[in-house]
Amino acid sequence: MNNTNMNAAVYDHYGSPEVLSIAQVARPEPKDNEVFIRIHSTTVTSGDVRLRMADPFIMRLFFGLFKPKEPILGHEVAGVAEALGNKVTRFRVGDRVFGSTGMRSGTHAEYICLAEDGAIAHTPESVAHGEAATLTTGALAALHFIQAAELKHGEHILIHGHRAAQCVEDQRTIASIADAHTGLWDPMNSGPSWTNGPTGATYL
């Protein structure tokens, strides 16, 4: 890897979106067990917003009392493996991958390194990078609550007050259950619309 720098959205103090700026930072180098990923898609989650604002204040005890310990936000990623650590066996250069950084951050940049045994997987060819990047938080949270609800075939449920990304993932999860009824009521649209089968709502 010839170029040792990359572009990233960085911040060095807490606050509103204006604290963010684009800067050149050192490009990460993969360790023996890491996959070096060129990022094609990432997300901005509520967690990123809270980290940027240090809200609630107690977050400073973990992420930096006076300024952020990690200058780059972002936890979800989808992209292409461009280099591999010496001990990586599950992935090849050129593989489409998606994953999460877990408790650390850093995906609001051009590149990231993820451990092979961490939260990283191959992206199916039928799934776009932009879709894959949303799967590690919204979809897993949606799956947890759907399973906890013990949803059965033919039942109707109300998803109320969800943030947009997770609401969509809930809809997709429900729609994957055979014969489930799914729908969405948007007051700006024509009202409630229930549909049969795994196709999901007619409007999202």
- Residues 204, 49, 108: CA angle, nearest 5 degrees: 90
pLDDT above 60: residue 180:
no
The answer to whether residue 17 scores a pLDDT higher than 60 is yes
Bridge partners (DSSP) of residue 191 are 186
Evaluate if residue 94 carries a pLDDT over 80. yes
How confident is the model at residue 200, as a pLDDT? 46
Higher pLDDT, 19 or 166: 19
Residues facing 193 on adjacent strands: none
Mean pLDDT of 84-90: 95
Three-class secondary structure of residue 123 per DSSP: coil
**Which has more confidence, 156 or 96?**
96
Which of 5-14, 137-146, 159-168 comes out lowest in average pLDDT? Answer: 159-168
Q: Which domains does the chain have, with CATH numbers?
A: 5-132 (3.90.180.10), 153-195 (no CATH)
Sole residue written with tokens 């051009």: 110
For residue 13, the 8-state DSSP code is S
Residue with tokens 């399973």: 147
Higher local confidence (pLDDT), 72 or 188: 72
Q: Count CA atoms within 13 Å of residue 16 on its CB side.
A: 1
Instruction: State the chain's mean pLDDT as an integer.
Output: 82
Q: Which pLDDT band holds residue 190 (cuts at 50, 70, 90)?
A: low
Give the integer Cα–Cα distance in Å for 77 and 100: 6
- What is the C-alpha separation between 128 and 184, in angstroms, rounded? 24
Write the DSSP string, 150-181.
Answer: T--TT------S--HHHHHHHHHHHHTSTT--
CA dihedral 173, 174, 177, 180 (to 10 degrees): -170
Average of per-residue pLDDT across 171-182: 52
pTM: 0.73
- Mean pLDDT, to the nearest integer, of 12-40? 96
pLDDT of residue 142: 72
CA distance linking residue 123 with residue 177, whole number of Å: 22
Lowest mean pLDDT among 37-46, 100-109, 120-129, 173-182: 173-182
Q: Is the pLDDT assigned to residue 169 strictly greater than 80? A: no
